Amino acid sequence: MIARGRWLFGAVLTGACVVGPSAVPVAAQGAPADPAALREGVRAWRAAHQAEIVRELAGLVAIPNVATDSANIRRNAQALLAMLARRGVTARLLENPGAPPVVYGELASPGARRTIVIYAHYDGQPVDRSTWTGAPWTPVLRDGPRPLGRDLPLPAAGGTVGAEARLYGRSASDDKAPIVAVLAALDALRALHVPLSVNLKLFFEGEEEQGSPHVRALLERYADTLRADAWIFADGPAHQTGRPQVVFGVRGVQGLELTVYGAARTLHSGHYGNWAPNPAARLVELLGTMRDGEGFILIEGFYGDVFAPTPAEAAAIAAMPPVDSALRTELGLARTEASGAPLMGRIMLPALNIRGLESGRVGSAAANAIPTEARASIDFRLVPDQVPARLRALVEDHIRRQGWLIVREDPDAATRRAHDRIVKVVWDEGYPGVRTALDLPLSRAVVRTVEQALGEPPVVVPSSGGSLPMYHFGEVLRVPLVIVPIVNYDNNQHASNENLRIGNLWSGIDIFAGLLARLGTEWPAAVP
């Protein structure tokens, strides 16, 4: 089945700014004739500058970066401005009222006919300090992944760091490593006297982990500033095999907080148990109607906008290296959901994840009482064509069909007395997923350039399972986008003990140096 609207960027590009083989020849753009020579040059440069690169990243990771922590988010932005200024990038903050600023930079390349924007975010997921080994924003270098390995000092000037070393800290991977990799790639190309094949714009967002509630307004305000031929998103992990990957889409995301109510005060479970409604039991009942044990979503109409992969997507999926068996072993899983269906197939579908449950207390803190409330936190992952507003309506219709009254604030006494099943439903700012067609000239050029930079082909992935606010970019800027992630897949992003495998920083530098030096050549623009 063919989806309407999901090939947005493909459709836009075909008739707009993409040209075919009649483009200007490669030599006219000043890139080195030999990709292999460039690759060796970049590797030699970064091998000689390991200490300063790792130290720059550690310095950035040391600044707390939850988007709601305004003071520290501003400290991150100022640090990034200084890092850009040191590279001669024209940089400033793009402000949006009440939100963390975007750190924006420009670096023009004489003769380049393509302009690309590299996107990353500098904010990080909230932390649960009790589950971290050490402090989230005290970067620690280790000679291997926890719990193995031991602490290493940060390298002194001229020192080296092994590829298997790991830097621990919130956003070491997600997304501060890609930011540092892009800037190191600029340093490498400058040192090698290799000109950029594209005009470069940098866009570092500060509230992605909050769902980017303000990014659309910002894109609209700065649409002229942000004009480009393509956006490269430097977010997300490399493939589970350790191989680099190029990703052509993301799932959307929609957060949901549910609060279910019992009696107005906590009750003794003996004196009132099995008479007064138990909100935890009621929440269990409600959640049980939304998702089955195999991950299938039971909400009526939920799969109405879900379409099968295109032939190009199906071919790419078939060519991906198998990972499921190794992942099951690593993660201690005897079996996965949907009767063990492959991970990539599951990612092409939407998901309902229960990210939190809370009611009363468990373990030694448990009291023999009936809680007054029970809460569940859910994140939905959406595939293209699933519009969040429609999803929200489907979920609320479903909840009401189970006999619940939906409220937006804690109910007052009169509401409690009048309604048996009351649930507070609070949605966050969700956004839909997007996918870029695999057979666009841009898509093919990015894959080719990454292969040249690394000397091996990347894994081509039709969609990441994760989410980025790319939908806004497509709608507002009408620009194609491709994701070029660099960090290790086992980085614990979004969890405690987030970490970066240093070898991924090195290959990330190689990738961005290759893209900057060669994408304009591999994806030539028409002569004006």
Site mask for a copy of itself (CB under 8 A), range 223-262, x = bound: -------------xx------------xx-x-x-x---x-
Reference 125, options 171, 76, 177; nearest CA is 171
If one asks whether residue 329 binds a copy of itself (CB under 8 A), the answer comes out as yes
If one asks whether residue 496 binds a copy of itself (CB under 8 A), the answer comes out as yes
Applying CB under 8 A, among 72, 78, 225, 269 the residue interacting with a copy of itself is 269
Applying CB under 8 A, among 14, 90, 160, 353 the residue interacting with a copy of itself is 353
Closer to a copy of itself at the Cβ: 375 or 444?
375
Closer to a copy of itself at the Cβ: 433 or 520?
433
If one asks whether residue 288 binds a copy of itself (CB under 8 A), the answer comes out as yes
Name residues contacting a copy of itself, limited to 160-179 (CB under 8 A).
none
If one asks whether residue 287 binds a copy of itself (CB under 8 A), the answer comes out as yes
Amino acid at 480: P
d(CA 180, CA 49): 13
Closer to a copy of itself at the Cβ: 376 or 391?
376
Applying CB under 8 A, among 73, 215, 280, 516 the residue interacting with a copy of itself is 280
Tokens at residue 375, please? 């809460």
Side-chain half-sphere exposure of 111, counting CA atoms within 13 A: 14
If one asks whether residue 267 binds a copy of itself (CB under 8 A), the answer comes out as yes
Is residue 256 a contact partner of residue 510, using CB atoms and an 8 Å limit? no
Name residues contacting a copy of itself, limited to 26-55 (CB under 8 A).
none
Applying CB under 8 A, among 195, 244, 371, 520 the residue interacting with a copy of itself is 371
d(CA 486, CA 178): 7
133 C-beta neighbours (distance < 10 Å), count:
11
Please give the helix or strand (H or E) that residue 427 lies within, else none. strand 422-427
Question: Among the candidate windows 225-233, 313-321, 412-420, 470-478, which touches a copy of itself by CB under 8 A?
Answer: 412-420
If one asks whether residue 276 binds a copy of itself (CB under 8 A), the answer comes out as yes
Tell me which residue has tokens 């070029």.
Answer: 484
If one asks whether residue 129 binds a copy of itself (CB under 8 A), the answer comes out as no
d(CA 467, CA 447): 21
Minimum distance from residue 295 beta carbon to a copy of itself (Å): 4
Cα dihedral 306→312→314→318 (10° resolution) = -150
Strand spans (E) along 60-188: 90-94, 102-107, 115-121, 140-142, 151-152, 166-168
Minimum distance from residue 158 beta carbon to a copy of itself (Å): 35
Question: Among the candidate windows 56-64, 159-167, 181-189, 375-383, which touches a copy of itself by CB under 8 A?
Answer: 375-383
Name residues contacting a copy of itself, limited to 433-492 (CB under 8 A).
464-467, 489, 492
Distances (CA, A) of 164 to 60, 167, 242, 456: 21, 10, 12, 20
